Chain A
Amino acid sequence: MRKTFGDPVAEDLRFVVKAVVGEENFIDMHPNRSNNFCCGGGGGFLQSGLPDERRTYGKLKADQILATKADYAITPCHNCHAQIHDLSDQLDHPWQTVHLWTLLCLSLGILGPNEREYLGDDLKDVDVFHPESSNM
C-alpha cells in the first residue's frame, strides 16, 4: 500500500486499523512508514526455493514484530501474510498473522466460525457470527 500509493494512503489504513482494534491496542513497529523493512515475502522470494535465505532476510522483520510485543500482526497482501506467518511459525508462534478483512469483520460482529483460520485461541471463540454454521 505504502509502496504503491505512498505514505498518506498508508496513513488512511492506520485510521482503519485503529478504528477496528481500538487506538490503545494499535502498536506501530519501528522503524515504520517508508523507513520500514520489507518482510522478505515479495519479489518472488517465497517461490524461489531459497527458504534459508528468505528466513535470514526476514529476521529483521521478525525482530521488529517481537519488539512490539503485539499478539497480532496485520498483513496487507498474500506475500506478506505467507512470509510473516512462516516467520512466526519458525519461532513457535509468538504472534498471529491476519488479513485486515478478518479483523474488520470481527469488529463488525459478522465473522463466522469458518472464517477464523488465522485467529489465535484468544479470539477464536469471540463473538462468533452464526456459530451453528461451523463445518468443523
Chain B
Amino acid sequence: MADEAIKLGGKKRSVFIDKVKEILPEGGNLNLCLTCGACSSGCPATGLEGMDPRKFLRMAALGMDEEVLSTKWVWMCTMCTRCMYVCPMKINIPQLVFNARSTWPRDQRPKGILGSCDMALRNDTCSAMGATEEDFQFVVEDVLEEYQEAQPEFAEMLAPVNKKGTEFFLNQNSREPVTEPDEMVPLWKILHLVGADWTYGTKGWAAENYCMFLGDNDAWKHIVEVKKKSVEDLGCKVWLNTE
C-alpha cells in the first residue's frame, strides 16, 4: 500500500526553503524543479532513509519543513554536486542540504563530525586530531632528519616550517603527522625534485575542515580565517590545500 497522500492547503507554512533562496545566487534555482528525477537516478544516496534528492527538494518546496529539517539523510548526502551537474535547471540541492544541516541543534549533529570540529577549534593548528604546533614541527623535523640520513640522495631535501615568502604554503592532513608520518615523505621528495619553493606553517597547517561538514558556519569561517592569516603572515603567494 502506498503511503497516505500528502494534503496541501491552508496558508503557506514553509520558511526554510525561502530562507535558503535568500542567501543563494539566483535563489539556487530552488523553485525551478521540473521533477524529472535526473538528480535522484544518479545519486548514490538515493534510497537511504527513504529519501532522494528530488524528494528532498519537493518536500522542501511543499513546505514540509518538519520532515526536511529532521531527516538524517542530510548527513548521508555528501554534497558532491552531481545532482546539480545533471539538473537541466541547475538547482542547488547540495546547498539546500547544507543549510538543513546547519539548522540542527549543534549538540544533536553527528558526534564524530562535531568532535572533529571542536578539536580543530582548540588551537591554531586547526588539526581535527588535536595535534599541537610543537607536535607537528617535531614530527616533520624528526622524519626529515631520518630520511636525509637514510637516503643520502635526499640529504639536501627540506621540509621547511614557517619559512617566510615562499611560493607555496602547503597544508597537511592530520592523519600523516599523527598516525603515518612516513606517508609525508613521497610528497616532499616530489617537491624537492621539481625545485618547489614551499613551506608548512605551525599555525593553520591542518588541511581538514570538519566545521564545514558540520554545517557550523561561524566555526567554518573561523578555521578558514586562521589558515588564511597563517599564509598571509608568512607572506606566501599560493595556498595549496591537498584536501
Contact = CB atoms under 8 A, between A and B. Distances in A.
A57 B173 CA distance: 24
Interface string B66-93: 0000001001111111100110000000
Nearest to B211: A44
Nearest to B74: A43
A38 B44 CA distance: 7
Interface stretch (A21-29, A66-74, A101-109): A101-109
Given A44-B110, A58-B44, A108-B193, A78 B173 contact: yes
A12 B147 CA distance: 30
B243 A79 contact: yes
Interface string B4-36: 000000000000000000000000000000000
Which of A3, A41, A45, A108 is the most central at the interface, judged by chain B CB atoms within 10 Å of its CB? A45
Given A37-B42, A49-B110, A49-B112, A112 B48 contact: no
Q: What bracket does the count of chain A residues touching chain B fall in? A: 35 or more
Interface of A: 3, 34-38, 40-50, 53-54, 56-61, 77-79, 99, 101-102, 104-105, 108, 110-112, 114-115, 117, 129-130, 133
Interface in B221-243: 242-243
30 contacts: A34-B82, A37-B42, A37-B82, A38-B44, A38-B78, A42-B78, A44-B110, A44-B213, A45-B75, A47-B112, A48-B75, A48-B76, A48-B113, A49-B111, A49-B112, A50-B75, A56-B47, A57-B44, A57-B45, A58-B44, A78-B175, A78-B243, A104-B186, A105-B186, A108-B189, A111-B186, A114-B182, A115-B182, A117-B180, A117-B182
Contacts of B108: none
B82 A53 contact: no
Contact of B185 (A50, A61, A77, A115): A115
Interface of B: 42, 44-45, 47-49, 72, 75-82, 85-86, 110-113, 115-116, 147, 150-151, 153-154, 173, 175, 180, 182-183, 185-187, 189-190, 193, 207-208, 210, 213-214, 242-243
Contacts of B80: 3, 37-38, 42-43
Contacts of A35: 42, 82, 85-86
Contacts of A43: 77-80, 213
Contact of A56 (B48, B186, B193, B207): B48
